[in-house]
Chains A and B, each alone.
Chain A
Amino acid sequence: MLQDSSGAVTRRGFMGRAAAAAFGFSIVPRHVLGGAGFTAPSDEVTRAVVGVGGMGRGHLGYAGARTVAVCDVDRGHLKQALDSLDAGVRGCADFREVLAMPDVDVVHVATPPHWHGIISIMAAEAGKDVWCEKPMTRTIGEGKRLVEAVQRNGRMFRLNTWFRFRDNFYGYGSTVAPIKQIVDSGELGWPLRVTVGTGTGFDFKFFWSGKTDLTPEPVPAELDYDFWLGPAPFKPYHPHRVHQTFRGYWDYDGGGLGDMGQHYLDPVQYLLGKDDTSPVEVEVDAPQQHPDAVSSWRKITLRYDDGCEIVLDGEGFSVGQPYIEGPNGKLFKNLRVEIKGKEKVLRGLPEPEPQEGDFYACVRNRRKFALNEANGHRSCTLVNLGTTAVRLGRNLKFDPVKQEFVGDEEANRLIFQPMRGPWRV
Chain B
Amino acid sequence: MKQHWMNRFLVCALLIAAVPWCAAESLDALLAAFPAQSGAELDKAAAALLDGGAPLLAELCGRILPEASGDADLQARLALSGLVKHVMAPGRDAARAATAAGVAAAMGAAQDASVRAFLAAQLEWIGGDAEVPALAALLADPATLEPGAAALEAIGTDAAGSALLAAQEAAGNARLVKALGVTGYTPAVPALMRMLQSAGEESQQAAAAWALADLGTEEIVPLMLGVLAAPATDKRPDLLAATARLADRLVEKGDAKAAEPLYEALMKAPEANARAAGLGGLAVVRGEEVMPLLLAALDDADGQVRGAALMMMAQCPKKETSAALAKKLKDLAPEARAQVVAALARRDDGAAVKAVVAALGDKDAPVRMAALETLGRGAADEGMDDLFKMMEKSGEKGERDAARAALMRAPDPALSSAAAKRLGKAAPAMQAVLLGMLEARQAEEHADKAEKLLGSADESVRIAALNMLSAAADAGRMPRLYAALKAAEGDGVERAARNALAKTRSRADAADAAAFDATVTADLEKADAAGAGRLMRLMLELDPANAPKTLAAGVAENAARAEAVRLEALQLLGEHRDGAALSELARMTGALDAGAVRDAALAGVCRQFSRATEETPVAAAMSGLHAGSALRTADEKRQVLQALASRRTAAAAAAAAVLLDDAEAAQDAAAALADIACMKSDRDKGLTDAGTLAVLTKALGIAGDDAVRERIGKQLEIALKGT
Whether B256 sits at the interface, judged by CB under 8 Å, is: yes
Of all chain A residues, which has the CB nearest B380?
A: A350
Contact, CB under 8 Å: A152 / B281 = yes
Whether A234 sits at the interface, judged by CB under 8 Å, is: yes
Contact, CB under 8 Å: A127 / B244 = no
Contact, CB under 8 Å: A290 / B81 = yes
**Cα–Cα distance between A231 and B77 once the two chains are bound (Å):** 23
**Cα–Cα distance between A10 and B38 once the two chains are bound (Å):** 42
Whether A173 sits at the interface, judged by CB under 8 Å, is: no
CB distance from B601 to the nearest CB of A (A): 36
B436-468 CB contacts (< 8 Å) to partner A: 441-443
Whether B415 sits at the interface, judged by CB under 8 Å, is: yes
Chain B residue contacts of A126, Cβ below 8 A: 237, 273
Of all chain A residues, which has the CB nearest B377?
A: A350
Chain B residue contacts of A350, Cβ below 8 A: 377, 380, 408-412, 415
In the complex with contacts A2-B317, A29-B304, A154-B280, A233-B146 CB distance below 8 A: yes
Segment at the interface with B among A64-72, A208-216, A266-274, A376-384 = A208-216
Contact, CB under 8 Å: A17 / B315 = yes
Contact, CB under 8 Å: A21 / B276 = no
A19-67 CB contacts (< 8 Å) to partner B: 21-35, 37-38
> Interface code A384-416, partner B: CB below 8 Å = 1, 0 otherwise?
000000001111000000000001101101001
Of all chain B residues, which has the CB nearest A26?
A: B343
CB distance from B483 to the nearest CB of A (A): 25
Whether B28 sits at the interface, judged by CB under 8 Å, is: no
Of all chain A residues, which has the CB nearest B257?
A: A8
Contact, CB under 8 Å: B153 / A424 = no
**Cα–Cα distance between A35 and B284 once the two chains are bound (Å):** 27
Contact, CB under 8 Å: B303 / A31 = yes
Chain A residue contacts of B70, Cβ below 8 A: 213-215
**Cα–Cα distance between A235 and B126 once the two chains are bound (Å):** 21
Chain B residue contacts of A151, Cβ below 8 A: 280, 311
B392-429 CB contacts (< 8 Å) to partner A: 405-406, 408-413, 415-416
* Chain B CB within 10 Å, residue with most, of A21, A214, A289, A393: A393
Contact, CB under 8 Å: B124 / A413 = yes
Assign chain A's interface to a size class. Answer: 35 or more
CB within 8 A of B442: which of A33, A344, A410, A418?
A: A344
In the complex with contacts A348-B416, A420-B146, A14-B315 CB distance below 8 A: yes
**Cα–Cα distance between A393 and B87 once the two chains are bound (Å):** 12
CB within 8 A of B39: which of A34, A214, A284?
A: A284
Chain B residue contacts of A349, Cβ below 8 A: 412, 441
Contact, CB under 8 Å: A24 / B174 = no
**Cα–Cα distance between A22 and B376 once the two chains are bound (Å):** 12
Whether B511 sits at the interface, judged by CB under 8 Å, is: no
Contact, CB under 8 Å: A413 / B317 = no
In the complex, how many residue pairs between chain A and chain B have their CB atoms under 8 Å apart? 280
CB within 8 A of B125: which of A213, A216, A351, A410?
A: A410
Whether A101 sits at the interface, judged by CB under 8 Å, is: no
Chain A residue contacts of B149, Cβ below 8 A: 418
> Interface code B96-119, partner A: CB below 8 Å = 1, 0 otherwise?
100000000000000000100110
Contact, CB under 8 Å: A22 / B346 = yes
Segment at the interface with A among B191-199, B332-340, B583-591, B678-686 = B332-340
In the complex with contacts A9-B256, A154-B276, A26-B335 CB distance below 8 A: no
B320-360 CB contacts (< 8 Å) to partner A: 332-333, 335-336, 338-339, 342-343, 346-348
CB distance from A238 to the nearest CB of B (A): 10
> Interface code B176-205, partner A: CB below 8 Å = 1, 0 otherwise?
001100100000000000000000000100
Contact, CB under 8 Å: B174 / A422 = yes
Chain B residue contacts of A35, Cβ below 8 A: 301, 333, 336
Contact, CB under 8 Å: B304 / A30 = yes
Chain A residue contacts of B377, Cβ below 8 A: 350, 353
CB distance from B710 to the nearest CB of A (A): 35
Whether A340 sits at the interface, judged by CB under 8 Å, is: no
Contact, CB under 8 Å: A152 / B304 = no
CB within 8 A of A14: which of B284, B302, B376?
A: B284
Contact, CB under 8 Å: A347 / B442 = yes
CB within 8 A of B254: which of A2, A8, A32, A416?
A: A8
Contact, CB under 8 Å: A418 / B346 = no
Segment at the interface with B among A110-118, A331-339, A360-368 = A360-368
* Chain A CB within 10 Å, residue with most, of B41, B178, B307, B348: B307
Whether B689 sits at the interface, judged by CB under 8 Å, is: no
Contact, CB under 8 Å: A24 / B248 = no
Contact, CB under 8 Å: A420 / B150 = yes
Contact, CB under 8 Å: A216 / B67 = yes
Contact, CB under 8 Å: A410 / B88 = yes
Contact, CB under 8 Å: A212 / B125 = no
What 9 A-B pairs are tightest by C-beta distance, nearest first?
Answer: A30-B303, A27-B307, A348-B412, A418-B150, A213-B71, A25-B314, A24-B346, A127-B273, A410-B88
Q: List 8 A-B contacts (CB under 8 A).
A: A4-B254, A27-B307, A33-B333, A216-B68, A236-B114, A288-B34, A288-B82, A291-B78
Interface, chain A (partner B; CB < 8 A): 2-6, 8-12, 14, 17-18, 21-35, 37-38, 125-127, 148, 151-154, 212-216, 233-236, 284-292, 343-344, 346-354, 365-368, 392-395, 407-408, 410-411, 413, 416-418, 420-422, 424
Interface, chain B (partner A; CB < 8 A): 34-39, 41-42, 67-71, 74, 77-78, 81-82, 85, 88-90, 96, 114, 117-118, 121, 124-126, 146-147, 149-151, 153-154, 174-175, 178-179, 182, 203, 207, 210, 237, 240-241, 244, 248, 251-252, 254-256, 271-273, 276-277, 280-281, 283-287, 301-304, 306-308, 310-315, 317, 332-333, 335-336, 338-339, 342-343, 346-348, 373-377, 380, 405-406, 408-413, 415-416, 441-443, 507
